[in-house]
Structures are given as structure tokens and as C-alpha cells.
Amino acid sequence: MHHPRLLFLTCIALALSGCQLLPGGGGAAQDTQPRRMPPTIDRSGTVAPSLVDQQCLAHLGATGARFSPLVNSSEAPGCSQINAVSLTDLQGDMSRLGISSLGAVTCSTAGTFADWARYGVDRAARAYLGSGIARIETMGSYACRNVAGSSKRSAHARAEAIDIAGFVLEDGRRITVKADWNAGSGAEKKFLRVVRQSACKRFGTVLSPDYNAAHADHLHLEFGDGSFCR
């Protein structure tokens, strides 16, 4: 006697469940459809750094250096600034180390430079000259040019080299490669050679006045895996 009523209720239940499976029908079945996520938009104007680049920037920050990442650029064939930064200053053992005339450098070059400045330069100045470093004077970094007398691009063209002219101490003294490499006091000459040797342990290529006349007024520090030290 109750079978027609039971059949009627069953049909209604099936009809309602069918509605839930239709588009816009609501219910749990709608949640099984893949959701369209909004696209990720890079609003920085630059390509997102790779994991290696991110690790490099993290290391550079850990040295205490203050810097700003730069937009990747290419000026001409063989001339580029990739994953480069602009350094403001560096961290010494007891104070900040200023930098003058330095342009763009790659993050890897900047990190090596920051370690050298603190552990190889600032500490050597305190040990041999009795005063810490206030400022490192450079002759620049990035330059779209070839190696002198060659058709090969210089490491400067990749922002992977820095030329060091001299150092200003916290007590006001100024030590330069040009004036003091050969004619400085015993302590000054020793200091300059110690910082060169320290650079040779960190950079792939280091050139000094002992290399040739073109480097009579600066130390050329070039990032890389080599071990050319003159």
C-alpha cells in the first residue's frame, strides 16, 4: 500500500541530487571542479631571480653589506649586468666601510668583495697600520670594453671586476697603490701586499703593480674560479 508513496519520494530525491551536479546547481559536487587561479604577475619590471641568485643575495645581506639589486641589462655583445647590485657600504669588524666610485657589480663579485674588505683589508689595516678602514677608494667596476690590446672582452664588461685605488683609514691617513706600493713606509708597503695576497685567496684574478705598468695605480680584482695572482 505504501509502495507508490515511497517510489514518489525516491524520484524527488534523485531529481534534487541531479540538480546539484548541474553547473550552478550548488552543493559539494561543484567543489570538485578545478578552480582557475589568477595569474602571478611580476610587478617589479625584472625577471624573478633564480634560486642561486636568491642565495647569493641572501649571502650578501648576511655580510652586513647595504645594497640595491639592479635590473638586468645588456649594453652590447659581451657587455652585460646580470644579477648585479649597487653597493652602498660594507660591514667591518667595528664600523661601516665606505666605498667610493664603485659602479654595478654582480652579486657574486659583491659578496667576495664584502668578505675581502672585512677580513682581508680592515683587519690588515688594524694589524699593520694601527687603524681601521673608513673608506675603500675604487676606480670603478662595470665598463663595456675589451682587455687592453686584445679583442677579448674584459671582466669589467660583465661587472665582474673591481679596480682598487687606495684606502682611507679611520685616523685620516690615505694609502694608495700608486703612491705607496713602492714608495710608502715599510708598514704601508706590507699592508698593500697583505691585502693583495688576501684578494688572491678569494678572487680568480688579481693584478697589481708587479704585473705591468697598466696596473701601477690600482689592484684589479676579478671574480672567477682561476688563481692568477700577480
Q: Is 29 domain-assigned? A: no
- This model's pTM is above 0.85: no
Residue (of 2, 17, 151, 12) closest to 78 by Cα position: 151
Lowest mean pLDDT among 5-14, 79-88, 93-102, 140-149: 5-14
Question: What does the alpha-carbon distance between residue 48 and residue 59 come to, in Å, rounded to a whole number?
Answer: 17
pLDDT in tens, 26-65: 443 333 334 433 333 233 444 566 888 899 999 999 999 9
pLDDT of 204 reads 98
Q: DSSP assignment, residue 60?
A: H
Q: Is 18 domain-assigned? A: no
- Whole domain around residue 93: which residue ranges? 51-229
> With contact defined as beta carbons under 8 Å apart, do 189 and 148 qualify?
no
Q: Is 38 domain-assigned? A: no
Strands 79-81 and 73-76, by their bridges, are antiparallel
Q: Is 223 domain-assigned? A: yes
Q: Which residue has the cell 659602479?
A: 103
Q: Is 30 domain-assigned? A: no
Domain total for the chain? Answer: 1
pLDDT tops 60 at residue 230: yes
